[in-house]
Amino acid sequence: MGRNPKYHEPLDESFDNVLTAIANEQRPADTSFTARPFIKWVGGKRSILPELTKRLPDNYDAYHEPFLGGGALYFSVQPKEAFLSDVNFHLVLTFKTVRDDVEGLISELKEHVAQHNKKYFLKARKSLFKEKNATKIAGLFIYLNKTCFNGLYRVNASGGFNVPMGDYKIPAILDEENLRNASKVLQGADIEQHGFLQEKIYKGDFYYLDPPYHETYEGYSAAGFGDNEHKQLADFCHKIHAKGAYFMLSNSDTPFVRNLYKSYTIEVVSASRMVSCKANQRGKQDELIIRNY
């Protein structure tokens, strides 16, 4: 690890030092654990994991995933060296906390399980952007993700989390075994907050790119992800190809996307979409898997 520059959001001053010390003590020799995403995420890849894994390069050096989301492919592959990143501050901080302070996180989630109701949910929604302690923020993020409507992450113009509570009789807020397994798998990952344009490109490395899909959900960050960002992403993929690295990209099956990547291998797969901000985008949807190898 350590080839990427560090991108930090200010938190408690001692937080990174404490987590680094814990991580160095916890790193296992073997990371062959059954782990799956510990959050719901729009566009999650669990439904097409077999399609993705069978298309991985036969050999590559480090694994990069700059649109992390739930990290389904990462948890399936469990690469020895990985660079995981996303622009979403709360998502990145939560992954770091699962890696470095999973027991503290579990304690926070137990409290949320015990207190959960609509009034508590609304209070937690406001607290997400006020809390300063990293482990408490991660607990709030997972709690809200598991109890809000359809697992959405959406912010308003002022940057506040504004998704209403979902109608769940018994929301699955805490899975201790999976969180501990995910923590073990993540010991081999460098996790940072930054956009895909800040991702370093190295010959022989593999890049899995899962952006907000074209003409679907673009609002999980205040900046959005429209046509211009998709063009920038295509240029980034051209750079990966020119550098002698590998990329695999998932996206909507639209003429715009097909034209951006017409010089590469394009395949259509059918994916189940149970987490979406729009009702007509749930169920089976065709999407593209695009590769330069």
The confidence score (pLDDT) of residue 216 equals: 80
* Mean pLDDT for the chain overall: 87
The span from the CA of 292 to the CA of 237, in Å, is 9
The confidence score (pLDDT) of residue 19 equals: 47
Cβ-Cβ contacts under 8 Å for 49 (sequence gap 6 or more): 72, 73, 76
Q: What's the average model confidence in pLDDT over 80-94?
A: 96
Provide the pLDDT confidence category of residue 258 given band limits of 50, 70 and 90: very high
Provide the pLDDT confidence category of residue 193 given band limits of 50, 70 and 90: very high
pLDDT value at 80 more than 50 = yes
Cβ-Cβ contacts under 8 Å for 156 (sequence gap 6 or more): 162
pLDDT value at 191 more than 80 = yes
Positive/negative CA dihedral, 6, 42, 216, 78: positive
What residues does each domain of the chain span? 15-291
The span from the CA of 267 to the CA of 289, in Å, is 5
**Could you read off the pLDDT of 8-65 as tens digits, one per residue?**
344 444 445 444 444 444 344 444 579 999 999 887 788 899 999 999 999 999 999 9
Give the distance, in angstroms, between the CA of residue 13 and the centroid of all CA atoms in the same chain. 25
The confidence score (pLDDT) of residue 82 equals: 98
Contact 89, 193 (CB under 8 A): yes
**Is domain 15-291 in CATH 3.40.50.150, yes or no?**
yes
pLDDT value at 116 more than 50 = yes
What are 212's two structure tokens?
Answer: 């907000």
The confidence score (pLDDT) of residue 33 equals: 72
Q: What's the average model confidence in pLDDT over 157-185?
A: 92
Provide the pLDDT confidence category of residue 204 given band limits of 50, 70 and 90: very high
pLDDT value at 158 more than 80 = no
Q: Note the maximum CA span of the chain.
A: 54
pLDDT value at 77 more than 60 = yes
The confidence score (pLDDT) of residue 215 equals: 86
Contact 75, 35 (CB under 8 A): yes
pLDDT value at 3 more than 50 = yes
**Could you read off the pLDDT of 209-226 as tens digits, one per residue?**
999 999 886 555 556 789
pTM, 2 dp: 0.84
The confidence score (pLDDT) of residue 42 equals: 83
The confidence score (pLDDT) of residue 173 equals: 97
The confidence score (pLDDT) of residue 106 equals: 98
Backbone φ and ψ of 126, nearest 5°: -75, -35
The confidence score (pLDDT) of residue 60 equals: 98
The confidence score (pLDDT) of residue 221 equals: 54
